[in-house]
Structure 1
């Protein structure tokens, strides 16, 4: 890789670190190519990305960003998982690490907050942004549904009473 390619990679990574809500750092030593492809596809489905970059170049790209606290974690064969959703990258990385012991989560950062491996696991247990939005919409719609049920309930009760009297008259 020549100097201009390295400079391009550093500027690209710097932009990624500035825009990402969360960055997870993990060791991937021993993962097969098929496992890496599986991890990449799972990340892509969740709206996250996995990047393997030279640690020295990633360290340079971290300078001046909010997630600069992860620089000490960049030792050995590391990969970076990042996403705009604060939960997506952490959730996929933790789920993948459960099924594949070769992926070892070292930590990460969410904004200026650095995370240890337990912090990443705790972040992964939170619902995603889309799930939270769905719950909020459900909570907002629930009162309207209850009001509609209450407004139709008296008429339904009245219809049942008339139906009961009609059956009583038919039986007699």
Structure 2
């Protein structure tokens, strides 16, 4: 018979898997409680870091329909459940792992498939959503400005041509009455 506390833990982890846009599996061997607290703070509000028993995580992943994590669940395991921006959480984990050798990224899960360590690092190398949107907006603004310039160019060319024609007529018109006056005098 399963113990009620373990059943509740499995259900809670399964619910975390269902509600997360991504998750990253790590090994935390050798980290102190203060280091784990620092890691949790660096993840921000969009992610939660949970230490859990591998058997409970395996059962919870099975209940949530998450596949491909079994080989990652060896040794002391903690999972980061990301509900916010996956890039920000992956960066926080990668940066923390660089300065704290006790944290080892094993892999993850996102968009219905398991992620390797290299894929988690690639995710961390991406720029945040806000930066990418700003770059896209800047590129679109530049394209719009070029288009506006191209659309305005024919009109300004016509205006310059009309002004040049008016200037030429004014020159000819000013010279023509003088010639007419000399012709009538002769």
Above 0.5 in TM-score?
yes
Task: Give the C-alpha shift of residue 97 in structure 1.
Answer: 0.5
**Aligned equivalents of 1:110 and 1:77: distance in 2?**
21
User: Are 1:22 and 1:87, in contact at CA under 8 Å, matched by a contact in 2?
Assistant: no
1:161 aligned residue: none
- 1:165 aligns with none
- Aligned-residue RMSD, C-alpha: 2.5
2:167 corresponds in structure 1 to none
TM-score scaled to structure 2, two decimals?
0.69
Post-superposition Cα deviations, 1:101-152, rounded to whole Å, max 9, x if no partner, equal: 111111111122212211111111112223323333333444567769xx9x
Distance (whole Å) between structure 1 residues aligned to residue 57 and residue 21 of structure 2: 17
Give the aligned length.
Answer: 149
Cα contact 1:90–1:121 (8 A) shared by 2: yes
Cα shift at 1:62: 0.1
Residue in structure 1 matched with residue 124 of structure 2 by the alignment: 124
2:109 is matched with 109
- TM-score (normalised: structure 1): 0.74
How many Å separate the matches in 1 of 2:7 and 2:88?
A: 28
Q: 1:41 to 1:3 in 2, by over 3 A?
A: same
User: Which ranges in structure 1 are unaligned for 5 or more consecutive residues?
Assistant: 155-172
Answering whether residue 92 of structure 2 is matched by residue 99 of structure 1, we say: no
Moved over 3 A (4+): 64-67, 137-148
Unaligned runs of 5+ in 2: 157-186
User: 1:40 maps to what in 2?
Assistant: 40
